[in-house]
A and B are shown apart, each in its own frame.
Chain A
Amino acid sequence: MQPGAAHWSFDEEDLAAITHAVSRFLAETGAHSALVVDRSGQLVATIGQPLPFDPTVFATLTAADFSANDQLARLVGETDFTTLFHQGEKESMYVADVARRLILVALFDNRTPIGLVRLKIKSVVAELTSHLDRAFARARESGTTQPNILAGAADEIDELFNW
């Protein structure tokens, strides 16, 4: 797919669609939680059971992990590694690229077979990719999807830093 628009944003509807697709994946696999992270490390959504750690930090480290592995892939002659698997004694994580824009992280314990995660994640990634395609197409049509919520807010910005 195309790398997409330079600027894009999610609206509530996008978020609901992502949440719906990922929730179904969690139910099908028994994975307990998932995070959707932007490739630059910004957290887009957390789905499933509440996370016992700071998701912002987790998102940043996931993106860095993925970026570093991307570079490793190039060194060995691959374009990228589209998935990563980190296996722990009890908890494991499976990380998948979505259209080179987002990263889907599935967290699961040793009751969930890795094969099932690997199998089911393909369809949720495909679903999220087609959703992103639509979001990018919308962004291209309208020039930008990001309504400028800070337009004319120069005075408020000055005020914000008045400390």
Chain B
Amino acid sequence: MSMINYAAREINCKIVYYGPGLGGKTTNLEHIYGKVKPDTRGKLISLATENERTLFFDFLPVDLGTIRGFNTRFHLYTVPGQVYYNASRKLILKNVDGIVFVADSQPERMEANLESMQNLYDNMAEYGYDLTRMPFVIQYNKRDLPNATPLGEMQAALNPGWEPADPSKARVTPDPFHAGENLVDQLSGGDWVERVSYFEGIAISGNGVFDTLKGVSKLVLKALA
């Protein structure tokens, strides 16, 4: 739930990076922290174990500019990816405005991706949130690996789409980030399907990190507009 602070003239939004363990969620935040101007970001807080695995969450506040005299401040969180930290993970999702699912492109992590995606749907549903109706993007990370799962396979597994919740959305909608692809499309059988935007990433070198952040932030603000 975004919070508008009229006294400070700020719009505060919460974005959560979700996904399987060691998939690159923290690396996304570290890259953003390293690249944005120090006066537009706060401290990067990591509640991690001694071997740098996220225990509770990482947190980074960043300002992305001003709209109508209000500073847009995004609070970026990661969740611990390891399966047994679900209680902590669920806490972080409370009052979320936008989700980035960071998927691991290694073939041996596909099962972990699927499990984490299911866990995301379940946790959101427990809060009464409908993931299909809120700002949500997917980042396919580690695309530089020679054995990376082909993009089409990852899309089919993690972003197969759903029937558009709003019937008025059942019209061909081009994907603004991938020429020639559609976010809303009609299948050969006549059914309409809606997918979320995806981004290819190599978080360790920063590729796709800002595209992902821009993609989800824009969706969050447009949901408010």
- A residues whose Cβ falls under 8 Å from a Cβ of B: 6-7, 9-12, 15, 38-42, 44-45, 54, 56-57, 60-61, 64, 67-68, 71, 146, 148-154, 156-158, 160-161, 163
Contact = CB atoms under 8 A, between A and B. Distances in A.
B221 A9 contact: no
Contact of A146 (B4, B45, B64, B68): B4
Given A11-B6, A56-B61, A60-B45, A68 B88 contact: yes
Given A54-B42, A60-B45, A152-B225, A12 B6 contact: yes
Interface in B68-88: 68, 70, 72, 75, 87-88
B217 interface: yes
Given A44-B3, A71-B87, A153-B221, 18 more contacts: A6-B1, A9-B6, A40-B14, A40-B95, A41-B75, A42-B12, A44-B5, A57-B61, A60-B75, A64-B57, A148-B225, A149-B70, A150-B225, A151-B225, A153-B67, A153-B68, A160-B66, A160-B218
B169 interface: no
A57 B45 contact: yes
A150 B6 contact: no
Interface of B: 1, 3-7, 11-12, 14, 42-43, 45, 47, 56-57, 59, 61, 64-68, 70, 72, 75, 87-88, 91-92, 94-95, 214, 217-218, 221-222, 224-225
Nearest to B215: A161
A54 B68 CA distance: 26
A71 B225 contact: no
Nearest to B221: A157
Contact of A57 (B5, B42, B225): B42
Given A42-B12, A61-B45, A157-B67, A150 B224 contact: yes
A40 to B, nearest CB: 4
A157 B94 contact: no
A10 B57 contact: no
A52 to B, nearest CB: 13
Given A9-B6, A149-B4, A161 B218 contact: yes
CB-CB nearest 5 A-B residue pairs = A40-B95, A150-B225, A42-B3, A67-B91, A160-B65
13 contacts: A9-B4, A15-B7, A38-B3, A41-B75, A42-B75, A60-B75, A61-B45, A61-B59, A64-B56, A68-B88, A150-B67, A150-B225, A156-B68
